[in-house]
Amino acid sequence: MRVFVTGATGFIGSTIVQELIAAGHQVLGLARSDAGAQSLAAAGAEVHRGSLEDLESLRSGAAKSDGVIHCAFDHDFTNFVANCEKDRRAIEALGDALAGSDRPLLITSGAGMGIVVPGQLATEDHVNFSHPNPRASELAGVAEMGRGVNVSVVRLPQVHDTAKQGLITPFIQLAREKGVVAYIGDGLNRLAAAHVLDVAHLYKLALEKHEAGSRYHAVAEEGVPVREIAEVIGRGLKLPVVSLLPEEAPAHFGWLAAFMGFDMPASSAQTRKKLGWNPTGPSLLTDLENMNYFSA
């Protein structure tokens, strides 16, 4: 397949590009900068210049492809609501080029969208449209399905290697700034996780399967307690680890407070059965233990 990949130069997207090329697919990667274009070309992908804001570039990229993986997202949380709306418009533009065909559009969401009851495992067969997260990619996906687009969804947990770990990366930076690694309450709330190589492999499998309406959980570990995460980071940074009262969390964590207080475990049982996906990468704690906390 000739696959158009948005976010192709990012942490997850660049790994997806490598996975697709290794499997024999042709990749058309979205790049907004010269540096991004050079990295894509070096990886063996064809470069498509554009951006999430340039909707025509998204339409034209999708129009000349056999399928689309949309994993780009602006992670500036100071403008999170606006960035969620930008994501919705991007999905709509991609759908413009794919409507009425069987060409797949694989979009990206969060595993928390599958939570039915707080504290229970999120599952693929549930969509919580009342979830407080303003990222509305799955709502946009439903709208595109109504227009005849072959949409499926990959829901992400904390995706990691020894360089990046999703929301844990800003958590580590905050600990550096504050001089302490903090968690909230007993720290037993959990974050689901998966290694980036396993996540990229799941995107490939989901694209090749392209079953309209399917939702897949890229979850290798159902739930890692935040306190255990904090303890590993504390050892790595050589900083004290402390518990905060819930009312102390906003002042310490800022925008991260809500995320670090959520209990967000998730299952991937249905995904593994449907796709034959078998994650084998290192665990989140293993990557955090092997991270170089004092590199430049």
Coil/strand/helix, residue 105: strand
Task: Determine the pLDDT at residue 116.
Answer: 81
Task: Determine the pLDDT at residue 117.
Answer: 82
Task: Give the residue range(s) of CATH 3.40.50.720 domains in the chain.
Answer: 2-159+194-220
Distance CA 143, CA 132 (A): 19
Give the residues across from 26 on adjacent strands: 2
* Residue 294: partners with Cβ closer than 8 Å, 6 or more residues away: none
Task: Determine the pLDDT at residue 132.
Answer: 59
Distance CA 155, CA 23 (A): 22
CATH class entry, domain 161-192+222-265+280-289:
alpha beta
Task: Determine the pLDDT at residue 78.
Answer: 73
DSSP for residue 121: P
- Cβ neighbours of 267 (radius 10 Å): 19
**CATH for 2-159+194-220 (3.30.450.40, 3.30.479.30, 3.40.50.720, 1.10.287.180):** 3.40.50.720
Distance CA 95, CA 87 (A): 12
Residue 52, both tokens: 């999430």
Task: Give the residue range(s) of CATH 3.90.25 domains in the chain.
Answer: 161-192+222-265+280-289
pTM score above 0.85: yes
Task: Determine the pLDDT at residue 84.
Answer: 86
CA–chain centroid gap for 86, Å, is: 16
Spatial CA neighbour of 215 closest among 104, 107, 70: 107
- Token look-up 């233990």 returns 289
Residue by residue, pLDDT tens for the chain (296 residues) are 999 999 999 999 999 999 999 999 999 999 999 999 999 999 999 999 999 999 999 999 999 999 999 999 988 777 878 888 899 999 999 999 999 999 999 999 999 888 888 888 999 999 877 665 656 788 899 999 999 999 999 999 999 999 999 999 999 999 999 999 999 999 999 999 999 999 999 999 999 998 999 999 999 999 999 999 999 999 999 999 999 999 999 999 999 998 899 899 999 999 999 999 999 999 999 999 999 998 75
Task: Determine the pLDDT at residue 133.
Answer: 61
DSSP annotation string for 34-70:
HHHHHHHHHHTPEEEE--SS-HHHHHHHHHTSSEEEE
Please answer whether residues 31 and 49 qualify as being in contact, where contact means their C-beta atoms are separated by less than 8 angstroms.
Answer: yes
Dihedral sign computed on CA atoms, order 94, 96, 99, 103 = negative
Distance CA 96, CA 117 (A): 35
